Each structure stands twice: as structure tokens, then as C-alpha cells.
Amino acid sequence: MRIFQQKGCKTWRVRFSIDGREYDLPLKTRDKEVAENRARLLEKEKRHELEGIILPKVARDTAKTPLPDLLTSWLESGLSPSTNAKHRKNSNHRVARLMAECGWRFVRDVTPQSFEAWRLSNLRSDTLTPKTLNHYLGHVRTFLNWMEQREMISRNPLKVVKPLPVPEKETRSFSIEELSRIVATVHPYRACVYTVAALTGLRRGELRQLEWHEVLLDEEIPRLRLDPHKTKNRKGGNLPLHPDAVIALQELREMCKSPRRRVTNSKVFYRGIPKMPKFLEDLRAAGIEEYDERGARLVFHGFRATWATFLSSGDIPQRVGMELMRLGSSRLMEKNYTDASKLPMVAALEKTPSIKSSLISSLKTGKTCPNLTNSGKTVPIEDGEDSVVSDSESVDLTSVVQPCPNAEKIEGVGFEPTRPCGLLVFKTSAFNHSATPP
């Protein structure tokens, strides 16, 4: 250990090493005897910290600091600068409410038992839903994790608390008929909002922040140039527009130019995005049920699910659909957004092959996958002779199959030719589709 004064400085410093770790600390005094005493105490303190006898100084200082002061420090320096105002407000409000209602004044007061007792009382009184209570847990955990990462506390005391199970509320998408009905019924401004939402897949927050300089309607390919800072995935990019969305945006642009409206901001949706009460009012006005027979609810986010369902229902490659939805995973596209009840399953069945008449048609055409349109039609086989596939009559195939002269019986299999017998020609006026070939 050595105490010294730097050149041009009258206060003393100490330099020492413990287990290979170098320390160079200020003693904040000009008196050498005081400096020597402080140096010995500092070395002893550091040795005790390394041995785990005492907590680090930052942890000891944190234990003496009131939680509201720590919360202020977290909000100022712990949250990312890109955190939006709403999230910052919720973080402050919810953590402060927990401190007040759980009686947390210092870090030592934060215990799993106190939080779980508070959560149980709110569940019994039906004051907060399980989903909201999980949000409270998430905010306070983030606050405590920030202190743990900076060694202000040894461990997060609420790390052992598990979130409450939240039953999934099934939502649904619009059918094309419902979408056409609501657009034709509501106020023109909201009709434009709903059209753009349903044919771009933009979320409520993304629609609210969309500005006119991001809307390129006069380009050869009309598109949106999305700002990465305004999108959920923070990627941005160019999004080509559906023709109906282009018309809706052109109508909005004309509304903004109207002298009666006096639009002073650059927002595309200058009157905001309809909130849930107004959205439900529009559903009722259009005669659309909020819940379907499965109990699935129609919400504003259903416009995004509608766009995903439209993309999945058409002959659009999945990768292209993912880009139009701005999704990085096909699982999200298939499971989370596509409304399976709106998929064209009946139309898909018409494209599948039929088992009926496939055997005879295969033998007739020499193909393994017969053309289903030939069933019930007259197909020429030889000059002057016809073969008709019919569903109404049946005959025994053994009467029309020509025998194979070169064959021997194999146990468990049947008669097999010892050499090729050539092409067998079936000549009859009707075949039994359900008959088993010899």
C-alpha cells in the first residue's frame, strides 16, 4: 500500500493491490496522518468485500436510500432513451403504487410475500385483472433487475414470483362482406382509417404516428416508407399499397386540404384512431356482431388479422405474405394472425383428387393421376369401339380382363407374369368403380 500526492495536487491518494486487483482511490484530505488512517480502513474494507464479509459499498449505500429516490434514478438513467412516454408513465405509476400499497420504503422491505399478498387482495376484490397484475410484476422486476445488474442489490427478491396464468381471449378477423359493410356505413374519415388498417396490417400505434412524408402516393408503385423508430420491430422499410388503400389515402389527403378542417399537423390520421367504444359503435351501426358463434371477439387489432387472412387465403407465397405483414416468423403468420375460420377450405377440397374412378381411369390413360373430368364420358379406345366409365352399372372385371398366358402362382402374392404380357386392353360398356382388380 502506498499513499501519494499527484503532481500539482495537494490531496492524498492511495494505491494498493488485493489478489491481483489494483485499486487507486482518493483519500480526500491534505493531512498525511489522516490519509494514512483512511488508506488502512479502505484496504480493510475492500478485503472484507472480496471475502463476502460485508456488502459492497454501493449496496450499503443503496440499502440506506429510500426507494422513491432509487425509482427516480431508474426512470432517468435506467430506461432506454427510445422508451415511449406511455411506457415511462406506466413504469413510474405502477412501481410507485406498489411501494405505497405494499409499504416498501427501502430495498429490504421488498419481499415475495408482501407482493403476493397485495396481488391476492386485488384478485379477490376484482380490482385488477390477472393480465394487469402481471404488468405490475413486470415493471417492478425490471426496476429491481436494473439495481441487481449494477450490484446495488445482491439479487432480485421478486425473481421467484411467477406470473399469473392469463386465459387467452380468442379474437377474429373481418370477412370481406363485414369489411365492405362497415366501410360503407361509418363516417368517411373512419372508413378511410379502417380501409388502410385492413389492407396494410399496420398496428394502431403505427397508424397514429404515420405522417404524410412517409406516404408516397405519386410514385410508380405507391408505397409507405415506414420509419424504424415508429414500428414495433424497429425495422421500418417500404410497404407497397393495395389499390383500395391508395384510394382511401387520397381521400384523406383531400380531407386535409379542405379549408374547413384547419389541419395543423402532418399526421395522416389527423383526427386520431377510433378508440374501442367508437369502434364497437361502428360495428353495431353496420350490423356486425362483436362475438361470433365460437365466442371470438372482433377488436381493432382484427384488421391486422384480416390482412393476414387475406394473404393466406390467396395464392400468395408465404414469404411474400410475411414481408407484407412485416413478420419475421412464419409461425406468427400461421398461428397468431391468420383466422383459420375464414380460410377457403371448401374451395381447397375441389382441387384435391378423387379416389372414385381413379383405378379404371389410370388403366385407361396409362397415368397414375387420371383426369377427373373424364368420369362419365365416352373415351375412344379403338376404331369403332368405346369404353364408358359409369357410376350406375357394374360388371365383373374377370370377364373383361384378358388372361396372361405366362404366369405362375407365388404364395401370399398371387399370379405374377414370368415375362411382360404386353398392354391389356379393356373393352366393355361399363365398369364397377368399387371392384377390386384381379
Secondary structure in 3-state letters for 7-64: CCCCCEEEEEEECCEEEEEECCCCCHHHHHHHHHHHHHHHHHHHHCCCCCHHHHHHHH
pLDDT of residue 169 exceeding 90: no
Write down the residue that cell numbers 482518493 correspond to. Answer: 26
Mean pLDDT for 244-267 is 84
pLDDT per residue over 28-50, tens digit each?
A: 899 989 988 988 888 888 888 77
Average pLDDT over residues 381-398: 49
Among the ranges given (73-82, 216-225, 395-404), the one the predictor scored with the smallest mean pLDDT: 395-404
Which segments of 172-317 does DSSP mark as H helices, in order?
A: 176-185, 188-200, 204-209, 243-257, 276-285, 302-313
Percent of the chain with pLDDT over 90: 48
Q: What is the mean pLDDT of residues 427-434?
A: 39
Distance CA 151, CA 107 (A): 13
Q: Which residues pair with 3 in a beta bridge?
A: 14
All three cell numbers of 26, joined, read 482518493
CA atoms within 13 A on the CB side of 190: 21
Residue pointed to by grid coordinates 411506457:
87
d(CA 152, CA 61): 8
Query: Do the beta carbons of residue 140 and residue 104 sit within 8 Å?
Result: no
HSE-CB at 144 with a 13 A cutoff on CA atoms is: 25
Query: Tell me, what's the pLDDT at 276?
Result: 93
Report pLDDT for 263: 64
More confident call, 405 vs 346: 346
C-alpha span between 112 and 105 (Å, rounded)? 15
Contacts of 125 (CB under 8 A, 6+ apart): none
Q: What is the pLDDT of residues 275-312, one digit of tens each?
A: 999 999 999 999 999 999 888 999 999 999 999 999 98
Residue-wise pLDDT tens digits, 331-363 = 888 777 887 777 777 777 777 776 765 545 555
Average pLDDT, the chain: 82
176-346 CATH, one of 1.10.10.10, 3.40.50.10490, 1.10.443.10, 3.30.565.10: 1.10.443.10
Q: Is the CB of residue 58 less than 8 Å from the CB of residue 47?
A: no
**Cell 383500395 belongs to which residue?**
244
pLDDT attached to residue 430 = 39
Please report the pLDDT score of residue 191 as a whole number.
96
181 exposure class (CB count in 10 Å sphere: 0-12, 13-18, 19+):
middle
What's the pLDDT band for 406 if we cut at 50, 70, 90? low
Residues 302, 341: contact at Cβ < 8 Å? no
Residue 420 makes CB contacts below 8 A (sequence gap 6+) with none
- Residue 48 pLDDT: 81
d(CA 76, CA 97): 18
Residue range 189-203: mean pLDDT, rounded: 95
**What does the alpha-carbon distance between residue 362 and residue 156 come to, in Å, rounded to a whole number?**
71
Q: Which grid coordinates are listed for 180?
A: 365492405
Residues listed for the chain:
438
* pLDDT, position 225: 94
Which cell numbers in the block locate residue 409? 402362382
Per the rule left: phi > 0, alpha: psi between -120 and 50, beta: everything else, 272 is left
* 3-class state of residue 270 by DSSP: coil
Q: Where are the domains of the chain?
A: 2-54, 63-149, 176-346, 353-438
| φ and ψ at residue 406, rounded to 5 degrees | -100, 90
Identify the residue whose cell numbers are 386392353.
425
